[in-house]
Chains A and B, each alone.
Chain A
Amino acid sequence: MAEFLAYLIAGIATGAIYALAAIGFTLVWQTSQTINFAQGEFVMLPAVLILLAIKLFGAPIWLGALIGIAAFILIFGVGFKLAVVDPMIRHGVLPLAIATMALSIIMKEGAKDGFSAEAQKFPSFVPTETISVFGAAISLQHVAIIAVAFAVIGLLQWFVGSTRLGRQMQATAQNPTVARILGIPVERMVLLTFVINAALAVVASVLISPIYLAKFSNGEVIGLFAFIAAIVGGFNQVRGALVGGLIVGIVDSMAAAYISTSYRLAVPLVLLVVVILVKPEGLMGRKEERRV
């Protein structure tokens, strides 16, 4: 029982990170009907920028974090929307999706050449101690990841569902034409969505990098698993991304524990295939009909 609990907590912690990244997929999908294939690199890069700020300016950790986070949100929240999404979206969603693939490679190679090809230690904001729960040693870092990720997702849900700005964002996502007629500043809402996506990526990056270490290639696995999580949960629902992330994280942990580490990458992919065959809109997603 203690062993199962330990695997479960580790899986939930990993799943919470996937959920944060998967929510980014759903936000971009809802506002621009496209897939951001650079989402994994969005989670990789903030940690690299923070370390870079510390190295370049000799800044203390807190200042380096502020500079890195601000630079990331500005460049990859506002800049991504203005420089990539706006010029490409008028040519259709496929060119935009391809542009995000290019962005993914540029971010990865840029981090490798501009920072380091080697993994770097990233400071943890939580002690690396354990607590005992029903006989299982639970890592405080895992507890912190779960707590912060759930708090951030809860805050996002509250913001979207209970504030005027959030409802304007929802209206924009559901029908931008009607939202514009109702006087909602659609462009600003779309921009806000991209900024929120960047902020979620920052949170995921700061939480996971002390464990994974900061490395240019970290986005590959995170991006893949978050993508699977978004599809499993439902690409058009934030709560779907949360559920999908947790399921993928737990399945991954259990697969490594009870099947084989060699097959752990395959198990979430099998889950993905099953969900696509049985419930293509995702476990929490809603069916969308489009006229073509």
Chain B
Amino acid sequence: MKKHWIIAAALGMAVSLPALAQDKVKLVDVVELSGAGATAGTNWKNGIDLAVADINAKGGILGKQIEIVHYDTQTNPGNTRAAVQRAIDEGTYAVLGPVFSGPIGASMQIAQRAEIAQLVGGEAAGLTKQGNQYLFRTSLSQSAAMPKIAKYLKDTVKAGSVAVVWVNNDFGKGGRDAIIPELEKAGIKLAVDVSTEQGQADFAADAIKVKNSNADAIFVYLNEEESARFLRAAKQQGITKPMVGETTLLGAKVIELAGDAANGAKGHVGLSIDAPIPAFQEFGKKFQAKYNYASDHNGLKGYMAVYMVKWATEKQKKFDKKGVADTLRGATIKTSEEPGILIETTVEKNGDLDRESFLAEVKDGKQVITATLPKINP
């Protein structure tokens, strides 16, 4: 008799499983949880988890709970391609991630072929110049950020010459190729062009080279850990010239790792929990409470990526994978329509974003916002 009950229960569960599955929408996050991109990827993942928890607590998307799955790419382009393909094979509604531009470039064609929206954290200018209608950024591109940096170097820092230190990957090369023409346009001389390697540990020689260039300012465009190592090496070499960067240099993780050496670093940030936007600050508090550390811009990017998917789905009033991309292209997401987007965001036709951004400086181990810059096309 007992055996019959067990069989009946098992059959009952088997019948109810598809119903349970239908009550959920699956999102797969393909992200750098180890390797050189671990810092950025971990923040991105935690931001996504926070958004999913918030949305599910409020009833999900169109009544469906989000089922989130994270795959670690190990910051390896080959692994990223495999993970994106796996995500699509498993029926993901949209692909979230990765964050590093190189792995994005290597994997974006897979989601494009499947006509599934891919929301990424990469900033390399070239990503959205390839006509991929399914790729969407969650941050400003280098093309949008670098003119602001060059203007800042000229007008605020008053630099006549700048040393450019960049990491030799898609992110760094894209940034270097974007900033140098902007410096030329601003009449700023390139004092020295220093290429470094992803994952590089020893920056003593690079710091000495920069110091001896006698540049008025140093533009640092490295990933998080390398930024911290460079700042420490620069301090060891007694470099006192202004360190200027774009978002990464002023990130929470860089400040934590670089310690005192981060003080005085300046630059442009696309997203920051310290920005004078109440929704950003609220996100920062929730993130800190849940993970016991301060989120950097990648945490915000991950959070907003999920809300971009939610907004597009609710806008089209149905779950249509292809429709997510169609709805996002050219849209402006207002906080009044979707508070989870945190700041009014315009998605351009090519997948780039336009929104307000900020100038910041590190003071006493904290990022301080010094000015708010308007959207490029208000």
- By a beta-carbon cutoff of 8 Å, the part of chain A in contact with chain B is 3, 6-7, 10-11, 13-14, 112, 117-121, 128, 130, 137, 139, 141-142, 210-213, 215, 217-218, 221, 252-253, 256-257, 260-262, 264-265
Q: Are B208 and A257 in contact (CB under 8 A)?
A: yes
Q: Kindly list the 5 A-B residue pairs having the minimum CB-CB distance in the complex, ordered from nearest.
A: A256-B205, A10-B204, A139-B236, A117-B38, A137-B238
Q: Are B236 and A119 in contact (CB under 8 A)?
A: no
A267–B206 CA distance with the chains assembled, in angstroms? 16
Binds A, one of B54-62, B257-265, B268-276, B282-290: B257-265
Residues facing A in B34-52 (CB within 8 A) are 34-35, 38-39, 42
A261–B207 CA distance with the chains assembled, in angstroms? 12
With known contacts A128-B261, A137-B238, A256-B205, A213–B34 Cβ distance under 8 A? no
**B332 interface residue (CB < 8 Å to A):** no
With known contacts A137-B238, A142-B204, A211–B229 Cβ distance under 8 A? yes
A121–B237 CA distance with the chains assembled, in angstroms? 19
With known contacts A119-B225, A137-B238, A253-B204, A128–B260 Cβ distance under 8 A? yes
A137–B197 CA distance with the chains assembled, in angstroms? 24
User: Which residue of B has the minimal Cβ distance to A216?
Assistant: B34
A262–B194 CA distance with the chains assembled, in angstroms? 10
Q: Are B237 and A118 in contact (CB under 8 A)?
A: no
With known contacts A137-B238, A139-B237, A211–B260 Cβ distance under 8 A? no
Q: Are A121 and B256 in contact (CB under 8 A)?
A: yes
Measured between beta carbons, the chain A residues less than 8 angstroms from B39 are 118-119
Is chain A's binding surface mostly helix, strand, loop or mixed?
helix
Residues facing A in B207-258 (CB within 8 A) are 208-209, 211-212, 225, 228-229, 232-233, 235-238, 253, 256-257
Contact of B236 among A3, A130, A256, A265 (CB under 8 A): A130
Measured between beta carbons, the chain A residues less than 8 angstroms from B229 are 211-213
Q: How many A-B pairs fall under 8 Å by CB?
A: 94
A285–B225 CA distance with the chains assembled, in angstroms? 38
Q: Are A211 and B202 in contact (CB under 8 A)?
A: yes
18 contacts between A and B (CB under 8 A): A6-B237, A11-B205, A117-B33, A117-B35, A117-B38, A117-B42, A118-B225, A119-B257, A128-B261, A137-B211, A139-B237, A215-B225, A217-B199, A221-B201, A256-B205, A256-B209, A261-B200, A265-B197
User: Which residue of B has the minimal Cβ distance to A211?
Assistant: B232
Q: Are B256 and A261 in contact (CB under 8 A)?
A: no
With known contacts A3-B208, A117-B42, A14–B168 Cβ distance under 8 A? no
A26 to chain B, nearest CB (A): 23
Residues facing A in B2-25 (CB within 8 A) are none
Q: What range describes how many residues of B lie at the interface?
A: 35 or more
| Most central of B39, B201, B204, B260 by chain A CB within 10 Å | B204
A185–B311 CA distance with the chains assembled, in angstroms? 75
Measured between beta carbons, the chain B residues less than 8 angstroms from A212 are 201-202, 229
User: Which residue of A has the minimal Cβ distance to B228?
Assistant: A213
Contact of A128 among B34, B197, B208, B232 (CB under 8 A): B232
User: Which residue of A has the minimal Cβ distance to B236?
Assistant: A139
**B143 interface residue (CB < 8 Å to A):** no
A280 to chain B, nearest CB (A): 29
A52–B259 CA distance with the chains assembled, in angstroms? 20
Q: Are B168 and A262 in contact (CB under 8 A)?
A: yes
**B196 interface residue (CB < 8 Å to A):** yes
B53 to chain A, nearest CB (A): 22
A128–B262 CA distance with the chains assembled, in angstroms? 13
With known contacts A121-B259, A128-B235, A256-B205, A262–B225 Cβ distance under 8 A? no
Measured between beta carbons, the chain A residues less than 8 angstroms from B208 are 3, 6-7, 10, 257
